[in-house]
Amino acid sequence: MNGARATIGRDLGRILQALAGLMFASVAVSLAWREFWAVPGMVLSGLVPLGIGRVLTRRYGGADEPGKLHGMMIAAGGWAAVGVFGSLPFLTLAWTVELSPAMLATPEMTPTLAAFRDPLNALFESTSGFTGTGLTMTDDEEVLPRTLQWWRTFSEWIGGVGVIVLTTAVLARPGSGSLTLYESEARSEKIHPSIVSTVRTIWWIFVLFTFVAILALWLAGMPVWGAINHGMTGLSTGGFSITDNSIATYDSVSIDFVMLPVMVLGSIAFPVHFLILRGDLRNFYTDLQTRWLLVLFVLGSGLLVGVLYFTGTIDSAFAAFRYGTFQFVSALTCTGFQTAVGPVKNPENVALGNWPAMGQLTVTFGMVVGGAAGSTVGGIKVIRLATLLKGTRHRVAGVFYPDTAVRRLTIDDRRLSDEEVRREFEEAAIITFLWVAFLGLGLFVLLAVLPPGEYTLENAVFEIASAQGNVGLSTGITGPSMPTVAKVAFLFNMWIGRLEIIPVLVLLRGVFSRGGLYR
């Protein structure tokens, strides 16, 4: 029994030490931008998880490798811990500006930075970052210190691939335990037989695409600092921005259309990227998830463009194509960048919250489905949608066959027997049911605390789907003035959405059941 606690404690300690390393590395940004006042806060923020992590790993260093059950607990607990300790830079820097003497040359306290003096707001921002959600407690990201702009971006970039994937790559602990943790983070496919080689290859691909994204955005006219931050959060399908109106701030057609392939790259599974980089271009159309993704991009964007144009929401056909395509791709890839925020400079820009219900629900559908399993996205995942649709057709067609017939269903080049079909269909159905059930629960809470008449039902459905799908698109509900109960509900939705619910339920059962984590 004691072995279970030791295993969980040891691996949580490893995750916290990896998080501390990210904070110490971010001090370089403070120095580069001459924000010397931010250095003590970042160092202190890193020392806390480092100290706790070292205590845990030393105390439980000889623990057994995790099994499937404890792997889920470690994944859920690790992501929760990263959200909690990842909030420290927001807290320490806000408090530094509030309390520091004039000799530290701190910047002026702004309402945006002041919001992070509230630990709940800091926790929300951190959790939103690491889960790749992108909903924010900031009123104006542009006035944040460069250190915090970077930390928001860095948290999404790391969270896009996964904190456990990072920990496995850095600490290089081979064996079945690493595979268990890798799979508990909602991943299954391996690139190499070795799990350590797999996660390192994932990181090499991710870093390569990040540099390509940054360069492409810079060449499209985005300033260097903006290209760095938006390239990282675009590829990681996180959606945090350093401007108040997201990508709409630039009001650039070229930037909008350069960002589209960046977001799409983040939504395709890493094993497919690996094969394509090796020259096997057939995977663009032979891989089931990639093929379905491309079809959904075309159909969803086409539907949304039609809704915007033919309802008169946007009068120009090109503008409808520009905004409709961008927002649907941003939704289906779970990125959360927005171009539809209101006029800004362009009178054809209509805020997303003012789109017709059909338009908002089309975007909501994209957020719920999400991209490919094995990528950086949230949502139910395309493979589950395909499994449900194909499995349903298989079941209905089975009525017309004799009981003795031997039937097979092909899903992603795998020919499944009836027993295998039942197993995979059941798994997809359970995840989808839980996803919808918690979406409904979150919607109930949100409607209960929102001011009556201020937002429509489609606004509320949109916002909760954005939180649970780890998307970050907003109709204006999320912000520092949001009711506390709604913030807590969104924290839960973001957490379960990133881990596909089951690991979180396993952890909660282990914590609250008789015998605690030992059971």
For residues 353-381, one letter each, b for 16 or more C-beta atoms within 10 angstroms of the residue's C-beta and e for the rest, the string is: bebeeebbebbbbbbbbbbbbbbbbbbbb
Which is more confidently placed, 258 or 66? 258
Answer yes or no: pTM beyond 0.75. yes
Residue type, position 297, single letter: F
Is the torsion defined by CA of 114, 117, 118, 124 positive or negative? positive
Asked if residue 339 lies in contact with residue 250, where contact means CB atoms within 8 angstroms, the answer is no
Coil, strand or helix: which one is 381?
A: coil
- Cβ-count burial of 213 within 10 angstroms (0-12 exposed, 13-18 middle, 19+ buried)? buried
Does the structure show a pLDDT above 70 at 403?
Answer: no
| Residue 412 in this model has a pLDDT that exceeds 80 | no
SS (H, E, C) 5-64: HHHHHHHHHHHHHHHHHHHHHHHHHHHHCCCHHHHHHHHHHHHHHHHHHHHHHHHCCCCC
Task: Write the pLDDT tens digit of every residue in 261-292.
Answer: 999 999 998 888 888 888 877 777 788 889 99
How deeply is 348 buried, as exposed, middle or buried, from its count of CB atoms within 10 A (0-12, 13-18, 19+)? Answer: middle
Residue of 194, 264, 193 lying closest to 273 (CA atoms): 264
Residue carrying the six token digits 């300690």: 13
The per-residue b/e assignment along 419-440, b for 16 or more CB within 10 angstroms, e otherwise, is: eebeebbeebeebbebbeebbe
CB 367 within 8 A of CB 379: yes
pLDDT, tens only, 336-390: 999 998 887 888 899 998 999 999 999 999 999 998 887 888 889 998 898 898 8
Per-residue model confidence as pLDDT tens digits over 148-197? 999 999 999 998 887 666 555 554 454 444 445 555 454 556 566 566 67
pLDDT digits (tens, 9 = 90+) for 463-505: 999 999 999 999 889 999 999 999 999 999 999 998 888 888 8
Residue with tokens 């139910």: 380
Mean pLDDT of 399-404: 72
Q: In whole angstroms, what is the distance from residue 387 CA to residue 390 CA?
A: 5
Provide the percentage of residues in the chain whose pLDDT is more than 70: 90
* CA–CA gap between residue 215 and residue 488 (Å, rounded): 38
Q: Which residue from 289, 313, 321, 436 is spatially nearest to 367, judged by alpha carbons?
A: 436
**Residue 347: per-residue pLDDT:** 83
Q: How many CB atoms lie within 10 A of CB 110?
A: 16
Q: CB-side exposure of 16: number of CA atoms within 13 Å?
A: 26
Structure confidence at residue 516 (pLDDT): 58
- pLDDT band at 517, cuts 50/70/90? low
**Rounded CA gap, 436 and 453, in Å?**
25
Q: Which residue is associated with the tokens 């891989």?
A: 287
Average pLDDT for 93-117: 86
Residue 438 φ then ψ, to 5°: -70, -30
User: What per-residue confidence (pLDDT) applies to 73?
Assistant: 86
> Which pLDDT score is estimated for 177?
45
Q: Give the DSSP H or E segment for 111.
A: helix 111-114
Q: Model confidence over 2-25: pLDDT tens digits?
A: 577 888 888 899 899 999 999 999
CB atoms within 10 A of CB 204: 13
Q: In the prediction, which pLDDT does 201 show?
A: 84
Distances, alpha carbon 152 to alpha carbons 116, 213, 482, in Å: 13, 18, 20
Residue 174: its pLDDT value, please? 45
The SS3 call for residue 323 is helix
Indicate the domain borders of the chain: 2-183
Please indicate whether residue 196 or residue 311 has the higher confidence score (pLDDT). Answer: 311
CA–CA dist 114, 287 (Å, integer): 48
